[in-house]
Amino acid sequence: EAGVVQSPRYKIIEKKQPVAFWCNPISGHNTLYWYLQNLGQGPELLIRYENEEAVDDSQLPKDRFSAERLKGVDSTLKIQPAELGDSAVYLCASSASGTSLSFGPGTRLTVL
């Protein structure tokens, strides 16, 4: 089966600019996650979707971050405006009921 797909793989922007990341989960996986991975750290959950509903967004900085999963399949994560501290790898993952996470390759964001 095809894995989780993310784009772009790399993004370099200047601070205060907006940026968006896209994720396509594994077919049939109803649950989609966005994780943040800082250098030398483990992934940290930003938001979890069950189909099109955000069921856990407690760790999402809502003043600048937003996400959507309109048709319960693809998802977009947006940052506006980006800050220097947002430089990190943004990982998308998906799962089916009772299974563990399948991660995408990530988007490496550099904010200058």
Partner 1 sequence: GENVEQHPSTLSVQEGDSAVIKCTYSDSASNYFPWYKQELGKRPQLIIDIRSNVGEKKDQRIAVTLNKTAKHFSLHITETQPEDSAVYFCAAGSGGGADGLTFGKGTHLIIQP
**The binder of partner 1 chosen from 19, 25, 43, 65 (CB under 8 A):** 43
Q: Distance between the two ends of the chain, CA-based, in angstroms? A: 37
**The binder of partner 1 chosen from 7, 76, 87, 102 (CB under 8 A):** 102
Query: Does 105 sit near partner 1 (CB under 8 A)?
Result: yes
DSSP secondary structure letters along 33-66 = EEEEE-TTS--EEEEEEETTEEEE-TTS-TTTEE
What's the burial of 108, exposed, middle or buried (CB within 10 Å: 0-12/13-18/19+)?
middle
Strand, coil or helix: what is 84?
Answer: helix
Query: Does 28 sit near partner 1 (CB under 8 A)?
Result: no
**The binder of partner 1 chosen from 82, 91, 109, 111 (CB under 8 A):** 91
Query: Does 42 sit near partner 1 (CB under 8 A)?
Result: yes
Query: Does 22 sit near partner 1 (CB under 8 A)?
Result: no
Binding stretches for partner 1 (CB under 8 A): 3-4, 31, 33, 40-45, 48, 56, 91, 93, 95, 97-106
